[in-house]
Homo-oligomer: A and B are copies of this chain.
């Protein structure tokens, strides 16, 4: 890869099922130049997130699909190399949605300055960024969590789940976490401080396991996976329980959608509230989130993990790995 070029990742073809390297193309382009009122950014960190799988489909969704043959986009933090903009200076760090590329030129729109002396640049894409706020909004606003309640979290060692577990503990709740490997279970118990952790790959009957671990039922289920986890949770939910639907990663790569839980009728008798949400609808909570999360980090109440890949050319594999269950915490690419 040449130093005089910038590289970016294009969507070459739409995946059928699990995405593969063949769906992506790493393309060399000249480093762009900043015009009047613009600035040039060199990305240092970019985020890969499960929701991007939805944008790879040619289907209506809450975000438009990625275009074939075009550069993709996503969260990133970069450093300004050169600025012709009065509000931005060389050396400033900015958070934007211009990921999946090395360099880009901006005019300030959709761009937020971040202070990397206060927190590491990467944390603005993880615990202090969209991921952390998704956990915060889903658990406290959608899940309407109350102290003393029992919370079940799926994909609990993931970017969002790992923060959900810790916020729930801070709020004085009992936390049951599900994840897919011995080392993740260990981390959840030792670092995130959950009360019980289930390795779902080693459990035959998830509903029975939940019943055993939640003798008083579940009040809030933070759902990152859908499918069998959702069904098992519904079985154990208490009356007036809340299910915050954040993700359904178990089905993102299905070519034929799997049937849903066969126990949805329990939503009625138990008076459950099952609610989907997208973090960007809740921007009003951002200042409160930033204040709370910074305090929790400073007081050592929240810890977080990042799984880091190096180099733009490895971004596709970092993304694919999201669905292979072999990462901890937030998946990031260091550019």
Taking a contact as CB atoms under 8 Å apart, the answer to whether A267 and B276 are in contact is yes
A257 at the B interface (CB under 8 A): yes
A226 contacts B54, C-beta separation under 8 Å: no
Instruction: Contacts A262-B257, A263-B257 given; indicate if A276 touches B268 (C-beta within 8 A).
Output: yes
Interface residues of A in 227-256 (CB under 8 A from B): 230, 239, 245-248, 251-252
CA distance A243 to B230 in the complex (A): 18
Asked if A85 is at the interface of the complex by the 8 Å CB criterion, the answer is no
Residues of B within 8 A of A264 (CB): 226, 230, 248, 260-261
Q: Are A259 and B257 in contact (CB under 8 A)?
A: no
The distance in angstroms between the C-alpha atoms of A264 and B245, with both chains bound, is 10
Contacting residue for A274 out of B246, B252, B258, B274, CB 8 A: B274
Cβ-defined contact, B277 with A271, below 8 A: yes
Residue numbers in B under 8 Å from A261 (CB-CB)? 259-260, 264
Q: Is the pair B276, A270 in contact by a Cβ cutoff of 8 Å?
A: yes
A245 CA / B268 CA spacing, docked (Å):
6
Tell me how far the C-beta of A212 lies from the nearest C-beta in chain B, rounded to whole angstroms.
17
User: Which of B62, B251, B268 is A246 in contact with, Cβ under 8 Å?
Assistant: B268
Q: Mark A145-162, 1 if CB is under 8 A from B, else 0.
A: 000000000000000000
Task: Write the chain B residue with the least CB distance to A63.
Answer: B269
- CB of A275 within 8 A of chain B? yes
* Nearest Cβ on chain B to A173's Cβ, whole angstroms: 22
Report the bound CA distance from A261 to B260 in whole Å: 5
B278 and A269 contact, CB distance less than 8 A: yes
The answer, yes or no, to whether A273 is at the interface (CB within 8 Å) is yes
Inter-subunit contact A239/B271 (CB<8 Å): no
Q: Which A residues between 271 and 298 are near B, CB-CB below 8 angstroms?
A: 271-278, 281
Chain B residues with CB under 8 Å of A257's CB are 262-263, 265
Decide if A61 is an interface residue (CB 8 Å cutoff).
Answer: yes
Q: Across the interface, do B278 and A275 meet the contact criterion of CB distance under 8 Å?
A: no
Q: Are A273 and B275 in contact (CB under 8 A)?
A: yes
A251 CB contacts on chain B under 8 angstroms: 265
Rounded to whole angstroms, the CA-CA distance of A265 and B252 in the bound complex is 9
Q: Are A268 and B259 in contact (CB under 8 A)?
A: no
In the complex, which residues of chain B have a beta carbon less than 8 angstroms from the beta carbon of A61? Answer: 269
Q: In this complex, what residue of B is CB-closest to A234?
A: B260
Q: How far is the CA of A246 from the CA of B265 in the complex (A)?
A: 9
For A272, list chain B residues within 8 Å (CB): 275-276
Q: Are A269 and B226 closer than 8 Å at their CB atoms? A: no
Among B62, B246, B266, B267, contact of A239 (Cβ-Cβ < 8 Å): B62
B260 touches A62 (CB 8 A): no
Among residues of B, the one whose C-beta sits closest to the C-beta of A250 is B265
CA distance A161 to B108 in the complex (A): 53
Residue of B nearest to A264 (CB): B260
What is the distance, in angstroms, from A59's C-beta to the closest C-beta of chain B?
10
- Residue pair A271, B278 in contact (C-beta under 8 Å): yes
The chain A residues found within 8 Å of chain B, CB to CB, are 54, 61-62, 226, 230, 239, 245-248, 251-252, 257-278, 281
Can you sample 9 A-B contacts with CB below 8 Å? Answer: A61-B269, A62-B269, A260-B261, A260-B262, A269-B276, A269-B278, A271-B275, A271-B277, A273-B276
New contact pairs (9) apart from A62-B270, A247-B268, A266-B276, CB-CB < 8 Å: A62-B269, A245-B267, A246-B268, A252-B265, A259-B259, A267-B276, A269-B276, A274-B274, A274-B275
